Structure 1
Amino acid sequence: MLFQPMTEGPIAYAPLYGQSVAGSETNVAIGLTRLGKQARWIGRLGEDPFGDLVLRTLAGEGLDVGLAVRDSSAPTGLFFKEFKGYGDPNVYFYRARSAASRLTAADVREEWFAGAKHLHVTGITPALGDGTADAIRIAMNMAREQGLTVSFDPNLRRKLWDEKTARDTLLSLVPLCDLFLPGAEEAEFLLGEMSPDAYGHDFLQMGPSVVALKLGEDGSVGFTGDAILRVPGYRVERVVDTVGAGDAFAAGLLSVMVGPTEDWRTERLPELLLRGLERANVYGALATQFKGDWSGLPSLSELEALMQGKRQTTR
C-alpha cells in the first residue's frame, strides 16, 4: 500500500493522505495489461483490509492474482511518499516483517510459470527479508528451466539494505536473466564509474542476452552481442513525479519483446529491441506526468496515437 499526502510539504504536518496500490513489479504488471498483455502477479499479502484492496485493485486492472498468498500473522507492506515541491519525492518504507518479507525458496512453485512466456523480477524483493533473495534466485532458475525468458531490474533501494549486501546480491542475479534493465546510477553502483558502452559490454559478459541501460531524459541504450542501439528520450514539458518511470519503461519494453523465446536468439533481436526501447522511452516519460506509480499510464491505443503524433478526440 502507498500513502501520499494530499498537499505538498513535510510529511510530519500532512493532515490528509490518499491511498493507492504500488510496488515496482506491480507497476510493471499493470503497465503490461494497459498495453494489451496478460500478466500474473505473484506475491504475499497480509490477511487484512490492505491486502483485500491490493487484490481488488490488481484484479480490476486485469491481472491474474489467483496464486497470491495471504498471511494471517504478518501485515501487508506499506510505504509513504513525501512531496516538498522540489526534487524527487522522499520515500519511506515500512516493509520489515511484512507478509512479503516472509517469502522463501520453499514458496516457489512450478505452477507459477504454467502457461507463461516471461518472468519479471526486481532487486526490491531480495532486500525485504532473510529468505527473499534465495526465493528470487530459485524463481529465476525455475522459470528458465521451463523455457521462459527472464528480465531483471535491479531497482536499487538503498534504504532497504546495506551497500555491500545490495551490490553482492544484485550482481549474483544478473547471470540468471536474459534481459538486464539497470539505470545509469545503478550501473555505477554495481560496477563503478564507466562509459555507457563499457557498462553494456561488462553486463553482457555476465550472461544476459540483452542489456537496456536507462539514461533518464537522455533516453536509453540497448546492447546485444551484435548491436548497440541508442534511442533518444521523449521530451516532456514538466516532471511531476519520477517514481514509477523505470517501471513504465520496463513495461513498454517488455510489451514489445515478450514473445517466442527463439526471437531472442535470432537476427530479429536488434529489431525487437529497437522498437521496444522507442516505446519504453515514451512510456517511461509519460509516467512522470502524474502523481502515483501507475494510475495515469495510457492504454495501448493512447500510447500509439502519441507516438504517431495524432491528437486524441476527447469530446
Structure 2
Amino acid sequence: MDIITLGETMVLFTPNKVGMLRYMDQYSAQIGGSESNVAVGLVRLGHEVGWISRLGNDEFGRKILRYLRGEGIDISQVYFDNSYPTGIYFKEMLTSEEVKIQYYRSNSAATHIKPIDLNEEYIASAKFLHVSGITPLLSDDCYETVLKAIEIARKNNVKVVFDPNVRRKLFSKSKLKDVLLKISAKSDIVLPGQAEGEFLTGEKNSEYIAEYFHKNGATSVVIKLGENGAYYSTKDDVGYVPAYPLKQIVDPVGAGDGFATGVLSGLLDGLDIKRAVQRGTLIGSLVTMVQGDIEGLPDRARLERITNKSKNEDVIR
C-alpha cells in the first residue's frame, strides 16, 4: 500500500446554476471529503491507496462506497453504521470565486469513528499515512482515532502527512490551534496554506512559518501560497515554486487536496521536493478549472501530457 488516509466523505449537492441557495431547485449530487479527494487523485495517478472511515447504512453511504470502489480505492476498512447517517453538504456558487459551503454532518456516522476501527497491520503496510485537520475536530472519538492512527504509523516507520485544512467553525480558536499543533508535532510532512500557517504559528513570513513547524517536529514543510505558488522547506532544500497561470477558475474548492495529491504522488514517484511541489501546484490548478471537488483530478496520461505541454508553453490551457 502506498498511502492510507482516514476521514469523512459526504454527498455534495451543487446547484445547477449560480446564485443563492434559496433560489435553487435543481442540484447535482457528487461526493467530497478532503481525505478521499486525495485518495481519488492518487489512485488516478496509479498509486495504491486505502481509505478508513464509517458511512451511514443508507443510500448516500452506498453511493459514496460505490464511487470510491469504482475509482480503485481499497475500502476494506470502511464500515457501515446502522445508528447514524451519512453526512451531506451543499455548495453555494455566488460567483466562480465566491463559494459558500453549508455542512449537515453533525452526529454523522463518520463522527463515530473509533480507535477500535483501526487495523495496525493495515496501517503498517503503507508508506504514508495522510490525515487532515478536519477529522480530529469532528468529535472526541475522531480525535482519539487520528492520534491512534498516527501512533501506529510512527511505531511502524510509516511517514505521517498532515494537511491542517483549518475549519474555524468546528472548534474555538484556542482549542483548534492546540489540536492542530499537537498533530503537526507528530507529523513528518506538514502542508498548510499561508493563512493557516499564520493562524497556527503567529508568523506571516513563509520562511518563519516553515521554521516554526520544523521546530515543532516536521521534517518537511510545504506552504500553499495560492496565486503565488508554494514555498517548500526540508533539511536539504528550500525554495519557492511559481503557480501555474490559469485562464479561468470554475470552482476553487478542492484545490488544496489537488495540491496534496501532486506533492505526495511526486514523492512516491521519487521526485525531489521541488519537482513534487511543482506537480502539486499543477494539479491544484487543474482542480479549480472543473466543477466539483474531484472531477478535475487528472489521470497519469493527462498529467504527463499537460506537464510536457506546460514545459513548452509555460501555460495551462
| Interval containing the TM-score (normalised by the shorter chain) | over 0.9
The whole-number CA distance in structure 2 between the counterparts of 1:229 and 1:88 is 31
Give the secondary-structure state (helix, strand or coil) at the position aligned to 1:205.
helix
The whole-number CA distance in structure 2 between the counterparts of 1:138 and 1:17 is 38
The whole-number CA distance in structure 1 between the counterparts of 2:248 and 2:102 is 24
Give the secondary-structure state (helix, strand or coil) at the position aligned to 1:188.
helix
Q: Would you say the 8 A contact 2:124–2:152 is kept in 1?
A: no
Q: Give 1:88 deviation, angstroms.
A: 2.9
What is the TM-score normalised by the length of structure 1?
0.92
What do residues 48-85 of structure 1 show as CA deviations (whole Å, max 9, x unaligned)? 01110101000111100011011000001111110012
Q: Would you say the 8 A contact 2:96–2:250 is kept in 1?
A: no
Unaligned runs of 5+ in 2: 1-10, 313-317
Q: Does the alignment pair 1:89 with 2:99?
A: yes
Q: Give 1:225 deviation, angstroms.
A: 1.8
Q: Give 1:28 deviation, angstroms.
A: 0.3
Q: Does the alignment pair 1:54 with 2:64?
A: yes
What do residues 13-36 of structure 1 show as CA deviations (whole Å, max 9, x unaligned)? 210111111100010000001111
Match of 2:175 in 1: 165
What do residues 167-193 of structure 1 show as CA deviations (whole Å, max 9, x unaligned)? 110001011111000000100110124
Q: Which has the higher strand share?
A: 2
Match of 2:202 in 1: 192
What is the TM-score normalised by the length of structure 2?
0.91
One-letter code aligned to 1:38: E
Moved over 4 A (4+): none
Match of 2:25 in 1: 15
Tell me the percent identity.
41
Match of 2:147 in 1: 137
For residues 21-100 of structure 1, what are the structure 2 equivalents within 5 Å?
A: 21-85=31-95, 87-100=97-110
Aligned residue among 205, 208, 211 for 2:215: 205
The whole-number CA distance in structure 1 between the counterparts of 2:274 and 2:41 is 19
The whole-number CA distance in structure 2 between the counterparts of 1:241 and 1:88 is 9
Q: Give 1:159 deviation, angstroms.
A: 2.1
Q: Give 1:99 deviation, angstroms.
A: 0.4
Q: Does the alignment pair 1:109 with 2:116?
A: no
Match of 1:256 in 2: 266
Give the secondary-structure state (helix, strand or coil) at the position aligned to 1:194.
coil
Give the secondary-structure state (helix, strand or coil) at the position aligned to 2:165.
coil
Q: Give 1:296 deviation, angstroms.
A: 2.2
Give the secondary-structure state (helix, strand or coil) at the position aligned to 2:140.
coil
Q: Give 1:114 deviation, angstroms.
A: 4.5
Count of aligned residue pairs for this structure pair: 301
Q: Give 1:7 deviation, angstroms.
A: 1.2
Match of 1:297 in 2: 297
The whole-number CA distance in structure 2 between the counterparts of 1:246 and 1:80 is 19
The whole-number CA distance in structure 2 between the counterparts of 1:290 and 1:206 is 36
One-letter code aligned to 1:100: A
The whole-number CA distance in structure 2 between the counterparts of 1:86 and 1:59 is 30
Give the secondary-structure state (helix, strand or coil) at the position aligned to 1:308.
helix
Q: Would you say the 8 A contact 1:204–1:225 is kept in 2?
A: no
Name the Cα RMSD after superposition: 1.5
What do residues 261-300 of structure 1 show as CA deviations (whole Å, max 9, x unaligned)? xx8xxxxxxx621110011110001110011001122111
The whole-number CA distance in structure 2 between the counterparts of 1:6 and 1:296 is 17
Q: Give 1:86 deviation, angstroms.
A: 5.3
Match of 2:243 in 1: 233
What do residues 244-273 of structure 1 show as CA deviations (whole Å, max 9, x unaligned)? 0000000000001137xxx8xxxxxxx621
The whole-number CA distance in structure 1 between the counterparts of 2:64 and 2:293 is 14
